[in-house]
Amino acid sequence: MAETKRVVRPPVRPLSPHLQIYRPQMTAISSILTRITGNGMIVGAILMVWWLLAAATGPDYFAFVDGLLHGWIGRIILTGSLWAVWYHYLAGLRHLWFDAGRGLEIETAERLGWACVIGSVLLTVLTFFII
Amino acid sequence: MRYLTDRKRAEGKGASHTGTEHHWYMQASGAALAFIIPVFIIALGRAFGRDHAGVVEFFARPHVAILTGLVLFVSMRHFAKGATMMIEDYARGSTRKALIIAVLSLSYLITATGLFALARIAL
């Protein structure tokens, strides 16, 4: 039997154009920002609980942690977390709206994305005025 | 003759392997957070900047302590399930399992620590 060995090559399948090909779009950016802010807020949550634990421990330890949070690095992280809260808040409301089957037309979805970005900055500034 | 119905054979074969409970939990906890987060942010902002005695006095108030505990618990469950979704999108196999266990542990650790601190301040 003269059977030749056949080399099995995987078929060359077309690849779908991905991040490097697509122009960044508002719908995609606003979606990934929801995930980034949602997961990033864990940093702010850890700091807040650490701060609470310090308050429960005593004045000296509290002064140390409170001092760190009031330092410039602390302030940057906390302000970033505040913006993340508001962005995730608005994007979450948008998600509930989408889940109800509304606002899914491309123009509306893009406008809602801008509303989340601009609204979150406005709410962050507003928070500083209220507190 | 098939003894299993089509529905029975299809169950668990979707991307989540479970059904829509996970997504429904995110909607329900998200709606709850939509009500309590703005109040909590303002409360936290007013507490931040006080001295030690002022902060302890602030979180010892029953409604502040209850609100803080509620936000901690609900937001950490919301985070655990949301982070699980992210891990399931990007990681596979044992890495996926290890990361999910880590995220669940972290969320419970934060909840427990926060509730302990609250109890010590408020009780």
Q: What is the pTM of this model?
A: 0.89
Place of tokens 């119905």: B5
Dihedral, CA of residue A37, residue A40, residue A45 and residue A50, to nearest 10: -150
pLDDT in tens, A49-91: 999 999 999 999 999 999 999 999 999 999 999 999 999 999 9
ipTM, two decimals: 0.90
Q: How close is the nearest chain A Cα to the Cα of B19, in Å?
A: 16
Nearest to A59 among B52, B75, B83 (CB): B52
Concatenating the DSSP letter of every residue in B82-109 gives HHHHHHHHH--HHHHHHHHHHHHHHHHH
Cβ atoms < 10 Å from Cβ of A15: 7
pLDDT in tens, A89-114: 999 999 999 999 999 999 999 999 99
Dihedral, CA of residue A114, residue A119, residue A124 and residue A130, to nearest 10: 170
Q: Estimate to the nearest angstrom the gap between the alpha carbon of B64 and the chain centroid.
A: 19
Chain A residues inside the 8 Å CB shell of B55: 55, 62, 66
